[in-house]
């Protein structure tokens, strides 16, 4: 089988790397050749993460390249689309694929439909509010990363909705005993775009810091200030992210309870758990499914709950180890490509079979 992967980004983009690129070697082993054609270049991501203005000329060239890729669609057995073919344009291309009998599956790990249907500009809501629903409806299969996205796809009238969580590769993640230190280390990993969520736990972090014997590390956040609390700000790279997580004692994932965040897939929790770390997370979206309260971590919805959870874990090393072990076992059972690759392979083969 020959597949054209129309991803949003290269491997540098987290969604593309985790939802498609990390599966390519496994698919190759099963006789599936995947040609990769990302929409946006690494320069776009660099501008996004540094809050610089978008280079519209570069974006325009990116759209032209995608048009050229689509002209080759008939050379492939199946198209594999991340989110949408052309952001901020109507779903004409996806509808055309369906009209001409060119099979495609589409993948979502974020509630990107809310960029359109909840956009503050009425013209966007009017012309694009139903865009993602139309893409889902015309796709041969919709692959989603959590229940919130699945429910939207079903309501949109998608023919086939399949659930595959955003997962890790067990070959990259391992439990490593942290060198005994005087201070407990609370850690977070993410991007400059998601670092704003740390403000939700700022009061708890400040109070925990004031009690002493706790340090804080953030990976990939860029510059951030949490009420003057000292912290290690560490640049993210694919090569070093696991090493940094292994240096945590506790991993955290605060989120506000809003519709956009309901679409989050809890990937950083899975990363922490894969390294044998206990977790504390907001009870939002996929977090509720990933975190078994009191087993592999705690769910915390208020400042007092966050402070209590972090304090309990700070004061009980045996509990940290027990929860970390439980988390690792859950990842091995549900949240790794060693489990989900078979599911993805089955989806791709079944769609291709319908057209052969």
Q: Which pLDDT tens digit goes with each residue over 122-177?
A: 999 999 999 999 999 999 999 999 999 999 999 999 999 999 999 999 999 999 98
Q: Which of 131, 160, 157 has the alpha carbon at shortest distance from 143? A: 160
Using CA atoms, how far apart are residues 289 and 266, in angstroms rounded to an integer? 9
Q: How many CB atoms lie within 10 A of CB 221?
A: 24
Strands ordered across the beta sheet of 184-189:
232-234, 214-219, 184-189, 250-253, 279-281, 297-299
Given CATH 2.30.40.10, say whether it is the number of domain 2-167+337-355: no
**How much is the pLDDT for 228?**
86
Assessment of whether the complete model's pTM goes beyond 0.85: yes
Average pLDDT of the segment spanning 315-321:
96
Q: Which residue has the tokens 């979206």?
A: 285
Given CATH 3.40.50.2000, say whether it is the number of domain 184-334: yes
Does 103 have pLDDT greater than 90? yes
Q: How many CB atoms lie within 10 A of CB 182?
A: 7
Q: Where in the chain is the domain with CATH 3.40.50.2000?
A: 2-167+337-355, 184-334
Dihedral (CA of 304, 309, 314, 315) sign: positive
Q: Which of 70, 61, 69 has the alpha carbon at shortest distance from 41? A: 61
Kind and range of the H or E element at 27? helix 24-29
Torsion, CA 198, CA 199, CA 205, CA 209, rounded to 10: 110
Q: How many CB atoms lie within 10 A of CB 313?
A: 23
Radius of gyration of the chain (CA): 21
Q: Which residue(s) pair with 80 in the sheet?
A: 5, 105
* Backbone dihedral angles phi then psi of residue 284, each to the nearest 5 degrees: -130, 130
Token pair, residue 273, equals 């758990």
Does 50 have pLDDT greater than 70? no
Token pair, residue 238, equals 């694919």
| Percent above pLDDT 70 for the chain | 98
CA distances, 221 to each of 193, 195, 198 (Å): 8, 5, 10
pLDDT tens-place string over residues 339-353: 999 999 999 999 988
Buried b / exposed e along 243-269 (16+ C-beta atoms within 10 A): ebbbbbbbbbbbbeeeebbbbbbbbbb
Query: For residue 355, what pLDDT band results from cuts at 50, 70 and 90?
Result: confident
Does 53 have pLDDT greater than 90? no
Using CA atoms, how far apart are residues 106 and 90, in angstroms rounded to an integer? 16
Token pair, residue 153, equals 């796809």
């Amino acid at each position: 089988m020959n597949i054209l992967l129309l991803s949003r980004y290269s491997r540098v983009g987290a969604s593309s790397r985790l939802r498609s690129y990390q599966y390519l070697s496994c698919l190759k082993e099963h006789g599936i050749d995947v040609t990769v054609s990302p929409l946006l270049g690494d320069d776009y991501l660099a501008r996004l993460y540094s809050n610089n203005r978008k280079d519209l000329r570069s974006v325009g060239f990116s759209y032209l390249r995608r048009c050229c890729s689509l002209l080759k669609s008939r050379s492939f057995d199946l198209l594999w689309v991340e989110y949408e073919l052309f952001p901020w344009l109507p779903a004409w291309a996806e509808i055309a694929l369906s009209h001409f009998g060119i099979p495609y599956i589409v993948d979502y790990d974020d509630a990107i439909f809310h960029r359109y249907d909840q956009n503050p500009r009425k013209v966007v809501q009017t012309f694009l509010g139903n865009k993602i629903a139309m893409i889902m409806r015309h796709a041969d299969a919709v692959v989603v990363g959590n229940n919130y996205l699945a429910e939207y796809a079903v309501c949109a009238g998608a023919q086939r909705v399949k659930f595959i969580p955003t997962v890790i590769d067990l070959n990259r993640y391992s439990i490593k005993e942290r060198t005994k230190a005087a201070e407990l280390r609370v850690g977070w990993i993410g991007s400059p775009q998601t670092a704003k969520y740390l403000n939700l736990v700022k009061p708890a972090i400040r109070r925990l810091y004031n009690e002493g014997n706790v340090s804080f590390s953030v990976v990939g956040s860029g510059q951030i200030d949490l009420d003057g609390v000292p912290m290690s700000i560490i640049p993210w790279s694919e090569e070093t992210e696991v090493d940094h997580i292994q240096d945590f004692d506790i991993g955290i994932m605060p989120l506000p309870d809003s519709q956009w965040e309901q679409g989050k897939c809890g990937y950083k929790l899975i990363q922490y758990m894969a390294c044998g770390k206990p977790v504390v997370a907001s009870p939002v979206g996929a977090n509720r499914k990933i975190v078994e309260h009191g087993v592999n971590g705690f769910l915390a919805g208020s400042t007092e709950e966050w402070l209590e959870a972090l304090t309990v874990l700070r004061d009980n090393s045996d509990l940290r180890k027990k929860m970390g072990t439980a988390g690792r076992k859950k990842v091995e059972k549900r949240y790794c490509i060693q489990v989900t690759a078979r599911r993805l392979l089955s989806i791709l083969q079944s769609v291709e079979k319908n057209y052969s």
